Amino acid sequence: MQASFDAFRALLLATDPDTIAAPDAIPPGFLLARAGALSAHYIPFDYVNPGARVVLVGISPGFVQWKNAVREARRQLSAGAPDEEVLRAAKYTGAFSGAIRPNLVALLDHVGLQRWLGIASCAALFGAHADLMHVTGVLRNPVFVAGKNYNGAAPNMLTTPLLQEQLLGYFAREIAPLRDAVMVPLGPKVGLALDWLAARGVLDGQRILHGIPHPSGANAERIAYFLGRKERAALSSRTNGARIDADRDAVLARLAALGRRRN
């Protein structure tokens, strides 16, 4: 059964995340499931933006995100905010802050997502047109492996029962109202998970924008080439220019096939 915000309201108010130094110290009341070294813990990320037309999908919230979300939910609850505002604020506190945001905006604008959305730039998704965006993870709740953030590699989320349950019990329900949105997977592991869900009828595989590089600064060379800021001849041996060209072409073709969104 999916855990709900109401069941954690009192625990959120009673928990000071600044006193929790590591995932292993998260109060046991937040635990949703455990299997060996693998554990999943509740985070107040229940909010869904029903008007979203683009969904940015990562792997899983990490420990820092858990702390930030609990801190913000606690602050909002203490101030007497309505539940929807508590959850919206908790979910979007610090979302794509820092250097990752300009990279993400540049990548989305480069493939023309802003035109599909009917806006000037995807930068507006973090401001005036925030109503068009939803942010989540294929594993909506933080997952830890031996007390460390899960990175999507091991164990395989598509063959691990606990993680399959998280995919189907949380993410699938979260995106159910967003059938007309496009999904932007941030990283290949996320893309594989979205394909797995599409094969099960959870979402429309034709609305997944595969191939956009992860906007992390650690991915700088792939981003630069994708954006046309670096020539193929100047790429290091670690970067496959032909693969990036094919990915870019696939995203452009997918958006063209979808046509401009209906307002």
Q: Which H/E stretch holds residue 90?
A: helix 83-92
pTM for the full predicted model: 0.92
Q: What is the pLDDT of residues 8-25, one digit of tens each?
A: 999 999 999 999 999 999
Q: What is the pLDDT of residues 56-99, one digit of tens each?
A: 999 999 999 999 999 999 999 999 999 999 999 999 886 777 77
* pLDDT score of 24: 96
Q: Considering only CA atoms, which of 59, 142, 44, 125 is closest in space to residue 90?
A: 44
Q: Which H/E stretch holds residue 8?
A: helix 5-14
Quick one: tokens of 108?
Answer: 């989305």
The label of the residue with tokens 């060209």 reads 245
The label of the residue with tokens 């990490």 reads 62
Mean pLDDT across 221-230: 96
Q: Are 18 and 71 in contact (CB under 8 A)?
A: yes
Spatial distance between the Cα atoms of 48 and 134, rounded to a whole number of angstroms:
7
Q: State residue 74 phi and psi, 5-degree precision.
A: -60, -40
Instruction: Tell me the pLDDT of the chain averaged across its residues.
Output: 93
Q: What is the pLDDT of residues 159-210, one digit of tens each?
A: 999 999 999 999 999 999 999 999 999 999 999 999 999 999 999 999 999 9
| 3-state SS class at 208 | strand
Quick one: tokens of 10?
Answer: 């009192």
> Can you list the positions of beta strands (E) in the chain?
31-35, 38-41, 54-58, 133-137, 143-145, 148-149, 182-185
